[in-house]
Structure 1
């Protein structure tokens, strides 16, 4: 306690993170990237599935016929099936959405630094618990460690910088959130090849090297995430860049001058319309991206490997390996466009407006799914690949633009918490999209439909979903005045509230901060390009 009886400000408290006059706002994006690049490894956990499926047998899985999922959770004598392990991936994104929704309000009160620290302990601590689970061969510990505790870290880490970035960059909301959320999409691009290399170093006659890799990654991620969390600063109340004034409110810009309280946001039709837009945009792409490699191989068959006329189902072992390499390159290209689209489309929304941007990506995606993809199936391989790369870029762009859209509609005061609740649409889409695609695909294969004709009805259904999203986006209007918070400072700073300092400029600290995140990103891009280069051969 302070001498005057008031509570002293702790290092993690929000009040202790208010920026001083010399703080450079360009230090914040690399801090956000440091956290998002680490938690983004959730997308890359599939690199562990095959090694873990032979954790006991080492070279070949020790299979136990008839073992149930419940039995697999605690068995010490049978290797886990991939279908048992992928539940960890499902838990990631269900818990991410739930934790972001539940604790988003706390984050706004506690501040981004405290939330970032908690996220680091949960994500890295969960990975360490998973390492224990792998070492003693207990799947339930992997589920609890990475799936549940790590999932909480995902949720808090994902939303921790959103509100702060938007407040530091009212003039470039889309670009700021696009940079951070680009990091989440790029986390696996760095983590997956790194994990693969580490497992090779740790593998032996008695171990596949996974639990050791978990511990090394957890330690490295913890350092990066803590550095990012302690780098967070919030701007002084009412701060805005010198000379900047908010654009006028129109039906297309929607940049509200007022804040909407967290407890009122979900009572507005705007919240549920944006929720629907995110749900449908994500559902339409997340399922098809999940089957991108087999889809390419099944549709084009032998044409991928200079064996025209050979169907996918007639491949021999060597042809399967060659086609799988092409499929992996396709996935790599999709990953790069997904990441780049997060920054490009979100930044473009600063010029075009968020509502117009979503209208563009939803309409374009519907056209590509409804007309281009079906007509190119079995046609030009290059154009087919380009279509799905563009779709991946718009899928990522929708993710990255949503936080700025919410700030435009509901103000900045509770945007982090509102964004957290909106992420339940992502969790829902993570179930709906893959199940829809898998159900139709498996059903058509079981009905004897030729593999190169399996996907066309799926494309049309996804196009229809995007059309519904397009209509939902058109219906979004400014929030009714009865939901505006009374006696509050304006959501968008006015000219009289513009503060001095914080604007920018290059310093050693800024250069070092950006180098710390750009070097790993560059390495990840290089590794992904090397994988995708097989498409050019």
Structure 2
């Protein structure tokens, strides 16, 4: 079955390396503050208050709604379906925002901005919620190293994109081509790098470095692979959930608005 085809144990470092690479490519929502003054000027707005609201929709999609949905699908079918959905959401969101810039009335255009921002965030959340969990399954022996490499792509992408996008805007003006570019490369990364080659290991799989462990060690609670349904019945899930929601709102509140201060 195609859902179970992908890179095997012998090349498992492909997972964090490709997650880093694709994270660089698709994680662009941290650039949103770069666009605020240009959107404000394009539509002749007095304040940026209604523009900033797009960051809220992006954060709700990426940090709150998408990851648990992606987790349920991952448990049942593996990562491929999530990456296909991420490609659709990311491409659709960017195309909507590119269409927004063809309009002149903000009372209409703002809905393109809000829905597009939400879809991009939702697609990013599908990607992030899937690749982190999958990398964790492939690296129970080196979780910190593999996970650190995988998630570093998002921050690296912001560092790379910021000067490039700013240079493009200075040279060509603020236009929809930027978002069409993001739509194409995001969909291509998901469909041609992630979807064909990613899969989860068998439920009882362990790397060779851990196969000699004692039965007692294998039965330790820290090594249990919880499904989403099992996790929501554990109070620790809800404690961590509250912490993550608070952290997510704090992060988005700061990073998406700091350039306006």
TM-score, scaled to structure 2:
0.82
What is the Cα deviation at residue 105 of structure 1?
0.4
Residues 1:151 and 2:121 are matched in the alignment: yes
What is the Cα deviation at residue 94 of structure 1?
0.8
Residues in 1 aligned to 2:249 and 2:113: alpha-carbon distance in whole angstroms: 27
CA 1:293–1:94: 2 relative to 1, 3 Å: closer
Residues in 1 aligned to 2:178 and 2:257: alpha-carbon distance in whole angstroms: 27
Q: Which runs of 5+ in 2 are unaligned?
A: none
Residues in 2 aligned to 1:80 and 1:141: alpha-carbon distance in whole angstroms: 19
Residues 1:34 and 2:4 are matched in the alignment: no
- Which of 206, 225, 231 aligns to 1:240? It is 206
- Which residue in the other structure is 1:51 paired with? 38
- Which residue in the other structure is 1:271 paired with? 237
Residues in 1 aligned to 2:243 and 2:182: alpha-carbon distance in whole angstroms: 35
Residues in 2 aligned to 1:228 and 1:177: alpha-carbon distance in whole angstroms: 18
- Tell me the secondary structure at the aligned position of residue 201 of structure 2: coil
Residues in 2 aligned to 1:116 and 1:130: alpha-carbon distance in whole angstroms: 21
What is the Cα deviation at residue 282 of structure 1?
5.6
- Tell me the secondary structure at the aligned position of residue 118 of structure 1: helix
- In 2, are the aligned partners of 1:52 and 1:80 still within 8 Å (CA)? no
- Which of 66, 72, 75 aligns to 1:99? It is 66
CA 1:196–1:82: 2 relative to 1, 3 Å: same
What is the Cα deviation at residue 287 of structure 1?
5.3
Work out which structure has the larger RCO, using CA pairs closer than 8 Å and 6 or more positions apart in sequence.
Answer: 2
What is the Cα deviation at residue 184 of structure 1?
2.1
Residues in 2 aligned to 1:246 and 1:87: alpha-carbon distance in whole angstroms: 51
Residues in 1 aligned to 2:250 and 2:118: alpha-carbon distance in whole angstroms: 26
- Which residue in the other structure is 1:112 paired with? 79
CA 1:246–1:202: 2 relative to 1, 3 Å: farther
Q: Deviations over 1:290-331 (max 9, x none)?
A: 776799xxxxxxxxxxxxxxxxxxxxxxxxxxxxxxxxxxxx
Report which of the two has the higher share of helix: 2
- In 1, are the aligned partners of 2:61 and 2:122 still within 8 Å (CA)? yes
- Which residue in the other structure is 1:166 paired with? 136
- In 2, are the aligned partners of 1:51 and 1:210 still within 8 Å (CA)? no
- In 1, are the aligned partners of 2:58 and 2:118 still within 8 Å (CA)? yes
- In 2, are the aligned partners of 1:131 and 1:142 still within 8 Å (CA)? no
* 1:159-308 → structure 2 map (5 Å cutoff): 159-203=129-173, 209-229=174-194, 230-244=196-210, 255-279=221-245
- In 2, are the aligned partners of 1:52 and 1:210 still within 8 Å (CA)? no
CA 1:86–1:294: 2 relative to 1, 3 Å: closer
Could you say what the CA RMSD is over the residues aligned between the two structures, in angstroms? 2.9
- Tell me the secondary structure at the aligned position of residue 108 of structure 1: helix
What is the Cα deviation at residue 237 of structure 1?
4.6
Residues 1:16 and 2:9 are matched in the alignment: no
Residues 1:126 and 2:93 are matched in the alignment: yes
What is the Cα deviation at residue 24 of structure 1?
0.7
What is the Cα deviation at residue 111 of structure 1?
1.7
- Which residue in the other structure is 1:475 paired with? none
Q: Which runs of 5+ in 1 are unaligned?
A: 1-8, 57-61, 63-78, 204-208, 296-537
What is the Cα deviation at residue 120 of structure 1?
1.7
Residues in 2 aligned to 1:139 and 1:288: alpha-carbon distance in whole angstroms: 22
What is the Cα deviation at residue 49 of structure 1?
0.9
TM-score, scaled to structure 1:
0.42
What is the Cα deviation at residue 289 of structure 1?
6.1
Residues in 2 aligned to 1:109 and 1:99: alpha-carbon distance in whole angstroms: 16
